Structure 1
Amino acid sequence: MILVLDVGNTNIVLGVYDDKKLVAEWRLATTSARTADEYGIQVLNLFYHDKLEPNNVEGAIISSVVPNVMYSLEHMIRKYFDIYPIVVGPGVKTGINIKYDNPREVGADRIVNAVAAHELYKRSLIIIDFGTATTFCAVRKNGDYLGGAICPGVRISSEALFQRAAKLPRVELIKTPSLICKNTVSSMQAGIVYGYIGQVEYIVEKMSRELIELGEEKPFVVATGGLAKLISEESDKVDVINPFITLEGLRIIYEKNRSR
């Protein structure tokens, strides 16, 4: 078995693969103050809850956009699993060519998503990850990672509206039956959710045109992340929702770097 960890600004998503099968998936809050031992006890309890044997883990890999938690996580894996984890970054084989001005600036999560989508779909791609930030990544059919766009996430936008407008409440992110709403809460929900759908559709449409101008076929659009379903099911611009694409990308990268 291998342990994969995707460290985001809000959550750490953990997965356990038995060969190519995902046998467990969990989420922990990302907390930089948590020690290696605190993470270790939490992760071991998750293993025992799902009746998995920690001693059967033979490898681990981490992608992270939160440097402050890396010492605790790496130390936790060494101490509780007796493994030195692979960390996605410079020097790690990915199988894609990063065409960013400075490849070191690309978030590890974006690289991992691109690796998985390229391996799974073998075509021109736009990958949307609805996380704390929403990222749009363009990948050519040959595996060139071209770059993309980064926007505030849906929850960030909603929270900013609540914090900066004195009379507006914090609202649940749900779709309203219509855009013409008759109370403040519904009006905010409609503006946030449908406004975000419009943003996604415009970016996908324009990014698709740019890829086609480069000689690519019409790109296949993959969505992932916590709010992918809420946003994507109202749009015909998304071809597939794959909630585990980041974990799958970590597994693929681990296989490419197993000898390390």
Structure 2
Amino acid sequence: MILVLDAGNTNIVIGLYKDKELIVDWRLSTDPIRTADEYGIQVMQLFLQNKIDPSDVEGVIISSVVPNIMYSIEHMISKYFELKPIIVGPGVRTGINIKYDNPKEVGADRIVNAVAAHEIYKKPLILIDFGTATTFCAITKEGDYLGGTICPGIKISLEALFQKAAKLPRVELVKPSTVICKNTVASMQAGMIYGYGGLVEFIVSKMKSEMIAMGEEEPIVIATGGLAKLISEEAGSIDVVDPYLTLVGLRIIYEKNKE
């Protein structure tokens, strides 16, 4: 079995693959002060609850956009699984040609998503990841990562309203039935959900125009991340919602580098 971990700013998403089948996945909160043993106890408990023997894990791969947790995560893997993980970064084979001005600036999660989508679809792609930040990435049919756009994430935008506007409350992210709302809570919810739907539509439209002008076919639009399904209901340009895209990409990169 292969253990895959994607460490984001808010959550660490963990998946366990048997061959190409994802048999279980978990989410832990990202905490930079948590020790290797604290992470290890949590992960071992998850294995125990699912009646999985940790010794069956043959390999581990990690992608991370949070450098200050990597020591704890790598040490946890070494101590509790007795394995050396593959870390997604420079020198790791991905099959993606990064066209960024400085390829090292591209987040590992964006690369992993691109690998998965390119492997699955083999077509021009626009990838949207609704995470702590909302990212848009453009990939050609040949697998060239052209670049993209980064926006504030939905949840941190809501939190900023609560923290910076004295009279605005902290609200649950639920879709109201109208845009003309009769109270503050619904007004904030509408602004976030319908507003981000509009943001998606505009950026996707611009990206499609630029990619077609380069000679690409019209790209497929794929969304992933925790809020992808919610926003996709208001963004008709999204063709596919795939909540496991990052885990699939990690498995593919592991296969390319396991030697």
CA displacement at 1:236 relative to structure 2: 1.0
User: Equivalences for 1:54-203 in 2 at 5 Å?
Assistant: 54-203=54-203
Residue matched to 2:223: 223
Distance 1:192 1:48 in 2: 39
Render the CA deviation track for 1:196-228: whole Å, top value 9, x for unaligned: 111111000000100000000000000000000
Distance 2:193 2:235 in 1: 12
- TM-score, normalised to structure 1, is 0.99
CA displacement at 1:51 relative to structure 2: 1.1
Q: Which amino acid is 1:230 matched to? A: L
CA displacement at 1:235 relative to structure 2: 1.8
Distance 1:201 1:235 in 2: 6
Distance 1:177 1:108 in 2: 37
Q: Which amino acid is 2:225 matched to? A: G
| Alignment of 1:253 onto 2:253 | yes
Render the CA deviation track for 1:177-208: whole Å, top value 9, x for unaligned: 01111111111111111111111110000001
Residue matched to 2:233: 233
Residue matched to 1:29: 29
Residue matched to 2:50: 50
Render the CA deviation track for 1:101-149: whole Å, top value 9, x for unaligned: 0000000000000000000111000000000000000000000000100
Distance 2:121 2:46 in 1: 32
SS at match of 1:173: coil
Q: Which amino acid is 1:231 matched to? A: I
SS at match of 1:94: coil
CA displacement at 1:76 relative to structure 2: 0.5
Identity %: 71
Moved more, 136-145 or 155-164: 155-164
Distance 2:39 2:191 in 1: 38
Q: Which amino acid is 1:109 matched to? A: D
Distance 2:44 2:255 in 1: 24
User: Following TM superposition, where does structure 1 have runs of at least 4 consecutive aligned residues deviating by more than 6 angstroms?
Assistant: none
Distance 1:181 1:233 in 2: 19
Structure 1 unaligned regions, length at least 5: none
- TM-score, normalised to structure 2, is 0.99
SS at match of 2:223: strand
